[in-house]
Amino acid sequence: MEKLQLWLFVLAGLSGAITQEDLYRKVFVFRKDPSDAHVIVKPEPEQPLQNFTVCLRSFTDLTRPYGLFSYATKAQDNEILLFKPKPGEYRLYVGGEFVTFRVPENRMDWEHVCAGWESTTGIAEFWVNGKPLPRKGLRKGYSVSAEAVIILGQEQDSFGGGFDLYNSFTGEMTDVYMWGYGLSPGKMRAAYQSLQLPPSALGWRNLQYEIKGDVAVKPRLRDTLII
């Protein structure tokens, strides 16, 4: 707890006030295209990661590349990155390397994704709207560093910055979670269905965040879930 409080104090001193809020039925609206706007979320885990799961829900009409979830360290800007280079395709980066997952194109609707990875096998898995895609191999034996800055809506090319404006996200984002372990298939589906989830290192219901630039917190216009 002391380590977390110290990091929050340092981060606040660098960039301003940090808000903690239950964002149930709310969204981040990234309003401008292109933009350097982003959201800084809860800082690094206390220990290096041998496993993780990241889930989020997004809504956009972009067809160009954009970053959604960027976890960067001083040594590696793409320590964990969830990136969409074009419609129908996602990239998951771990330790600077990536695998590509091709997904059904879902234009003009909400898209829920979960990405999981485990070090011992190097298995990376990817779920779209509650359905798994074929698993792939990535960075077997790697350890994800704990000293990180986590940013939504941009791809970090340096620790906490170095943004390419034409890789920025424009649209709406909600239900962002990160766990320091792999979720079971049942919990992956529960994340899509907005059901009760296990405790998380980063969670939408108690998110610590700071908005930088043209991003607004707004109520959802309609339910995002389609089963």
Q: Residue ranges of the domains in the chain?
A: 2-219
| Residue that the structure tokens 């011992």 belong to | 120
CATH topology of domain 2-219: Jelly Rolls (2.60.120)
The predicted structure's pLDDT at residue 10: 38
Can you tell me whether residue 186 is helix, strand or coil?
helix
Say if CB 177 and CB 150 are below 8 A apart. Answer: no
Determine the pLDDT at residue 218.
98
Of the candidates 171, 165, 155, 180, which has an alpha carbon nearest to the alpha carbon of residue 218? Answer: 171
Residue 189 three-state SS: helix
**SS3 (DSSP) at 78:** coil
Torsion-angle region of residue 129: left (phi > 0), alpha (psi -120 to 50) or beta? left
- Count other Cβ atoms within 10 Å, centred on residue 142: 18
Outline where DSSP puts E strands in 60-155: 66-73, 80-86, 89-94, 97-102, 111-118, 123-128, 131-132, 136-137, 148-152
- Res 7: pLDDT: 41
**Residue 133: DSSP 8-state:** P
Specify the pLDDT at position 16: 54
Which of 57, 107, 70 has its CA nearest to residue 223? 57
* pLDDT at residue 223, rounded to an integer: 65
The per-residue pLDDT string of the chain (227 residues; one tens digit each, 9 = 90 and over) reads 334 333 443 344 344 578 999 999 999 999 999 999 999 998 656 789 999 999 999 999 999 999 999 999 999 999 999 999 999 999 999 999 999 999 988 778 999 999 999 999 999 999 999 999 999 999 999 999 988 999 999 999 999 999 999 999 999 999 999 999 999 999 999 999 999 999 999 999 999 999 999 999 999 997 655 44
pLDDT of the residue at 44: 55
- Alpha carbon distance 205, 30 (integer Å): 20
Q: How far apart are CA 75 and CA 137, in angstroms?
A: 22
Tokens of 157: 């090319």
pLDDT at 189: 97
With H, G, I as helix, E, B as strand and everything else as coil, classify residue 13: helix
